[in-house]
Amino acid sequence: MAEPAPLPYAGIRVVEFTHMVMGPTCGMVLADLGAEVIKVEPPAGDNTRRLLGSGAGFFPLFNRNKKSIALDLQTAAGREAALRLVGTADIVSENFRPGTMKKLGLDYEALSKLNPRIICVSHKGFLPGPYDHRTALDEVVQMMGGLAYMTGRPGDPLRAGSSVNDIMGGMFGAIGAMAALAQRERTGRGQEVQSALFENNVFLVAQHMMQFAVTGQPAAPMPGRISAWAVYDVFTVKDGEQVFLAAVSDSQWKTFCDAFGYADLLADARLATNNDRVHARDWLIPLLRERLAPHAAAELSAVFEKHGLPFAPITRPQDLFDDPHLNATGGLAPLELPDGRATKVPLLPLMLDGHRPAVRLQPPRLNEHGPGLLRELGYSEEEIERLLPVR
């Protein structure tokens, strides 16, 4: 295979003032696509470096392919260094509380006067409006934006099992930055880009909003919904294993019945079409559960794969490290954790000219690139020493 071409955003410099997930995701996307992304951290480091539990993987995942510089923005010297650094950037990305960048003199209004080509990406809880003063979290907007209602059982709202709004909000920030770069090619001017958790969540549930607009019927939570397809379920089978099986068209129903010798079901006039089978789910699904229960999950998967029918094992996230498809296709890249241990990390889910954008830089140590960046900005060794964080 030929060597990959230069990445599309090679030569673009991004300076990010971000933490947690949303802002760092934006920088990770741009970094994976070739941009030089410089993460400005406080002297003690991004708090995400020290999270436990469900946050323990945030820093190494969302901060690969980046450089780190530690600056104390509460001091005049730290702000001056940040301003000099931003002066070399194409994009500035942040997810501070509203008004913080303005207090630091690093908001779009101030920066655009110094450099009309600058693009500033702000990641917030809400776009400007009545809610923009509120503090938002992924879980907050999932609850107020209908996603938790749709995910949980009726009467039991449940957040999605991933930081979906943080991650997608960062992705939309990156998309906005890309659009602004393209527009700058025509106009010569930068602009402010805004992305927000709440509006991202609303976009995610838009399909359910439009279902109501079209049908006049409220969308039911996913566990209690009337499925659009008759066979579209998790089945508990031999030895208590579980597998997801589906037959979502009339041709797939015929294939399924033929594969398992269910001639009686195929001939049943009550099950002639998909919509007929949807109406018959109350008795059809229990019958299928009974018939499929003696089979092993692997056996059912093999039959479904052989006949081109949709199926899926019920996989835990940690099992994906050993997934044969991901490992065979280069979907997992070597990564060094902050404590030096080796692991693998999923790459962006796309290919460019036959290549997956790779991990070029390991998640940075705090201020790993600070001295070099400060020298590039014209600081003397004595000045750099004064700016180094006290550890």
Closest CA to 51 of 59, 41, 43: 59
Distance, CA of 232 to CA of 97 (rounded, Å): 43
Distance, CA of 43 to CA of 35 (rounded, Å): 24
> How far is CA 8 from its chain centroid?
20
Distance, CA of 333 to CA of 339 (rounded, Å): 18
b/e 248-267 (16+ beta carbons within 10 angstroms → b): bebebbebbbeebebeebee
**pLDDT value at residue 216:** 96
The mean predicted confidence, pLDDT, of the chain is 95
- Quickly count: other Cβ atoms within 10 Å of residue 325's Cβ: 8
Position 224 confidence tier, pLDDT thresholds 50, 70, 90: confident
Given its phi and psi angles, is residue 46 left (phi above 0), alpha (psi -120 to 50 degrees) or beta? beta
Distance, CA of 342 to CA of 20 (rounded, Å): 22
Name the architecture of domain 13-205+336-387. Answer: 3-Layer(aba) Sandwich (3.40)
**pLDDT value at residue 4:** 66
**pLDDT value at residue 8:** 96
SS3 23: helix
Spatial strand order in the sheet of 311-313 = 231-236, 242-247, 311-313
Instruction: Compute the average pLDDT of residues 260-274.
Output: 96
Say if residues 148 and 142 touch (Cβ distance below 8 Å). Answer: yes
pLDDT tens digit string along 372-384? 999 999 999 999 9
CA dihedral 285, 287, 289, 292 (to 10 degrees): -130
What pTM does this model have?
Answer: 0.92
**Spans of all domains in the chain:** 13-205+336-387, 227-317
Instruction: Compute the average pLDDT of residues 113-131.
Output: 96
Say if residues 107 and 101 touch (Cβ distance below 8 Å). Answer: yes
- The answer for residues whose C-beta is within 8 angstroms of residue 85's C-beta and 6 or more apart is 15, 38, 40, 69, 373, 377
pLDDT tens digit string along 159-209? 999 999 999 999 999 999 999 999 999 999 999 999 999 999 999 999 999
| Greatest Cα-to-Cα distance within the chain, rounded to the nearest angstrom | 86
Instruction: Compute the average pLDDT of residues 89-107.
Output: 95
**pLDDT value at residue 124:** 96
Residue identified by tokens 């230069």 is: 6
Say if residues 197 and 165 touch (Cβ distance below 8 Å). Answer: yes
Identify which has the larger pLDDT, 5 or 48. Answer: 48
Say if residues 83 and 105 touch (Cβ distance below 8 Å). Answer: yes
Given a cut of 70, whether residue 1 has pLDDT beyond it is no
The values of phi and psi at residue 156, to 5°, are -135, 75
Tell me the three-class secondary structure of 128-142, residue by residue: CCCCCCCCCCHHHHH
pLDDT tens digit string along 313-357? 999 999 999 999 999 999 999 999 988 999 999 999 999 999 999
Specify the length of the chain in residues: 391
Homologous superfamily (CATH) of 227-317 is: formyl-coa transferase, domain 3 (3.30.1540.10)
